[in-house]
Chains A and B, each alone.
Chain A
Amino acid sequence: MTVAFAELRERADRRWQELNDTAWIRVGGGVSGEAAGCDDVIEAFNSELESSGTTGTVTRVGMYGLCYAEPLVDIKTPDGPRVWYANVTPEQVPGLVAQHVKGEQPVIAQAFGYEPAHEGDVLHGVTKLEDLPDVAVQTRIAMKNFGDIDPLDLLQYIANGGYAGLEKALDGMSPDQVLEEVKGSGLRGRGGAAFPTGLKWSFLSGNPAKEKYILCNCEEGDPGAFNDKAILESDPHTLLEGLILAGYATNSSKGFIFIRQGHDEPINAARKSIVDAYEAGLLGENILGSEFSYDAEVVLTGDSYVAGEETALMEAIEGKRAQPRYRPPFPAEAGLWQKPSNINNVKSLAYVPQIIARGGEWFKSVGTEKSAGTALICLTGDIERPGLFEIPMGLTIRQVLDDVGGGAPGGKRIKVLQTGGPLGGVLGEEAFDTEIDFDAMSAAGAILGSGGIIVGDEDVNVVDLTRALIAFNQFESCGKCFPCRLGTTHMLETLDRVCMNKAYEEDFALMDRIGTSMKVGSLCGHGQLGYNPILSAVKFFKDEFDDCINKHAGPVGAFADGSMITPTQTRP
């Protein structure tokens, strides 16, 4: 171990010990925690500790992923078990402080789960957190530290094994060895295209240019997906370490983290992690005393979905309209400011520290043969337990819905799923036995994409849901390629007629023609895949379209009750 890192490790271990020497109260934050009211709970803990003269530390950690249980609080006294409490209200705080923090007796009646202080200890009447059905099924790699550490504290990350991968790489591995390790891990890009990450990096590493860039894409405009932002909110250093390792493996000079403006929590966490990393010698000249120098910066984009497309992303960093470029030249030859560049999704990079620390073979042993590792599933909509869950690839969709999600509320039947974002699929029950891996999902007509699964129960009208997706695609078309710009608009008008029961059987063929034109005539995935929702919805739910078109069963969705509101139809 290098002297510089040994010193950091020592400081980190001391910090971790200090935190565990008194009562430690961790409250799940992030945007999801905020929306559930975590900040009121934190305020209540702070004021209760003060007014009752109790010693303890209150930390706003990232999300654990169990969003349905938020505000989620866990309390750990020095010698006691770590106990989680779900859906905590400010009113419950005085009782928790008096009994658990001060009295060191967990409040069994309110406890949600626990982790014993010593192996074999049992807390009667409470389930171990790891035995909860939606936790037991998880393999947490990218989410390893979620809910455990203060995302804004570099030392807490290091105390939990952080930067060990970088240290290992700089202290004995050549860039090529790091690249080979990633290649051998079978890691495929998590942004949607599922391209092998190691192979992508090798295009850049082979380029002899001096200035080369690694661009990390956290634009994440996909509605229904929040896993990229969650990584930045909950454990930003995991991403930063991955970004630095990608730079080392490809001999690059600088990394950019690209985030949409307005998402203040991930933005601030990313910025703070970079400042702290510079200060600790993990970024800048001669990182940890090695020959390797590397910079990193957060760059913001305005609101534009297409800005998440890799060439549009480069345009946005350069400060222009986020519209895709023609390829070739490919980014690895001429990317950002015409310098060789490589674009990686947040999740892809977040796996890399563990791949280097524990070896590519270990990562390959998780998941399926062709889709190594895990999937970060954002489960939302009509589901008992919405949240973010890291599951090994290869589970079926139905296992996720039942074991993880606990089915639809009120015992209703789950009818429809929307996967892979608004350019993905609308799936019916026939597809629920599909395995979650890249190839099985795309064979079933659903891209795994960003990992969002939106659940609709028997009350959801599929025509209305499809219209909402196409309205999004129309609103977000960047306008560069006319088949997409006009096609999405024409498609939305047609769907509006379907919803109003004013369409004809011929409209299926019309939409198909438009969709095909978009597919062959658009530069990027937005136009190429923009017809996917209709294509898959008609495949699984032809009868619901028939109800509108041939049977005139009545207007659907917002057209039915006159509350039709069309989001701004065009860009200003």
Chain B
Amino acid sequence: MANEASKAADDVRTQIQTVLNGQNQPTVTVLSSLLEIQDVLHYLPNEAIEETAAFSKTTINEVWSVASFYTNFRFTPPGDHTYEICWGPSCHVMGAQQILKRVQDELGIDREGETEDGKVTLKYGTCLGACAQAPVIAIDHHHKGKITTEFAAKMARELMA
């Protein structure tokens, strides 16, 4: 059992090292490294912090300071699907608050995060960038505009099914 766990951790490390060494843009930094790792793993495990520190020849503390600052970084695996609801003022005026409340009821949670079965991650977006189509949601990064509360609830039910 212990062997299996340490083997899995080794695999993650190898994967992270591949991502780190595969960065071919001219500007490679702690932040660019963390962004690329999260793109592949969808979260930052402890190994990501350690490997980025080693790769960037800096301390684990320094890497944590960056990772903990930007709100897109997460440190546990996300659900199978991501459900983002925009609460920017354009969407707020168009009824985002009711949508948020209704979707939370459907998902059975009262904050950002994962549903109990781990199927869906709910995220609040400060602005998804399609303000003229407000209110806007994004499911697995596909934007959908001018949505009704009913439609938002239906999408949540489909993801939970």
Question: With A35-B130, A35-B136 given, is the CB distance from A301 to B112 under 8 Å?
Answer: no
In the complex, the answer to whether B130 meets A34 with C-beta atoms within 8 Å is: yes
Cβ-based interface call for A221 (8 A): yes
> In the complex the two chains form, what is the Cα distance from A101 to B47 in whole Å?
56
Q: Are B25 and A35 in contact (CB under 8 A)?
A: no
A313 interface hit (Cβ, 8 Å): no
Cβ A454 vs Cβ B69 within 8 A: no
Asked if A351 CB lies within 8 Å of chain B CBs, one says no
Chain A residues with Cβ below 8 Å from B87 are 468, 567
- In contact, B89 and A418 (Cβ under 8 angstroms): yes
Residues from chain A with Cβ under 8 Å of B56 in the complex:
319
Measured between beta carbons, the chain A residues less than 8 angstroms from B146 are 35-36
- What are the 5 tightest A-B residue pairs by CB atom distance, in nearest-first order? A319-B29, A302-B70, A223-B88, A35-B145, A67-B132
Q: How far is the CA of A345 from the CA of B133 in the complex (A)?
A: 24
Q: Are A223 and B35 in contact (CB under 8 A)?
A: no
A568 and B111 alpha carbons, distance in the complex (Å): 8
Query: Within the complex, which residue of B75, B124, B128, B129 is in contact with A568, where a contact is CB–CB below 8 Å?
Result: B124
> Is B60 in the interface zone, CB < 8 Å from A?
no
Chain A: minimal CB distance from B145 (Å): 3
A381–B94 touching, CB < 8 Å: yes
- Give the interface size class of chain A: 35 or more
Find out whether the CB atom of B101 lies under 8 angstroms from the CB atom of A565: yes
Residues of chain B contacted by A476 (CB below 8 angstroms) = 126
Stretch at the interface among A360-368, A382-390, A427-435, A482-490: A382-390
Chain B proximity of A67: nearest CB distance (Å): 3
Q: Is the CB of A316 within 8 A of B89?
A: no
Which residues 124-152 in B have Cβ within 8 Å of A in the complex?
124, 126-134, 136, 141-146
User: Do A565 and B100 contact each other (CB < 8 Å), given the known contacts A31-B129, A454-B90?
Assistant: yes
Please provide the chain B residues from 102 to 122 with a CB less than 8 Å away from any CB of chain A in the complex.
104, 110-112
Can you report 22 A-B residue pairs in the complex whose CB atoms are below 8 A from each other?
Answer: A32-B130, A68-B132, A221-B126, A224-B88, A224-B131, A256-B27, A261-B72, A295-B26, A302-B31, A302-B69, A303-B70, A304-B70, A318-B29, A320-B31, A320-B65, A322-B70, A380-B132, A381-B134, A454-B89, A469-B89, A557-B97, A565-B97
Is the CB–CB distance between B130 and A31 below 8 Å? Answer: yes
Which one, B72, B126, B133, contacts A35 given CB within 8 A?
B133
Q: Is the CB of A319 within 8 A of B32?
A: yes
Which residue of A has the minimal Cβ distance to B84?
Answer: A262
For chain B residues 54-68, which have a beta carbon within 8 Å of chain A?
56, 65-66, 68
Q: When A35-B145, A563-B97 are in contact, do A378 and B131 touch as well, CB less than 8 Å?
A: yes
Residues of B in contact with A, size category: 35 or more
Name A571's contact: one of B68, B101, B133 (CB within 8 Å). Answer: B68
- Contact of A468 with B130 at beta-carbon distance under 8 Å, contacts A34-B143, A302-B70, A572-B71 already known: no
Q: Assess whether A117 is interfacial by the CB under 8 Å rule.
A: no
Contact with A along B21-34 (1 / 0, CB 8 A): 00001110111111
- A468 CA to B110 CA, complexed, in Å: 18
Give the contacts of A12-42 with B (CB-CB under 8 A).
31-32, 34-37
Secondary structure at the A interface, as helix, strand, loop or mixed, is mixed
Shortest B109–chain A CB gap in Å is 11
Q: Which residues of A contact B110 (CB under 8 A)?
A: 565
What is the CA–CA distance of A40 and B87 in the complex, to the nearest angstrom?
Answer: 26
A465 close to B (CB within 8 Å): yes
B contact residues around A318 at 8 Å (CB): 29
B43 beta carbon closer than 8 Å to chain A: no
Residues 460-474 of A at the B interface (beta carbon under 8 Å): 460, 465, 468-469, 472
CA distance A468 to B97 in the complex (A): 10
Instruction: Kindly identify, within residues 378 to 436 of chain A, every residue whose CB is under 8 Å from any CB belonging to chain B.
Output: 378-382, 386-388, 418, 422
**Contacting B69 at CB < 8 Å: which of A35, A298, A322?**
A322
CB neighbours of B124 from chain A (8 A): 567-568
B72 neighbours in A (Cβ, 8 Å)? 261-262, 302-303
In the complex, residue of chain A having the shortest beta-carbon distance to the beta carbon of B93? A381
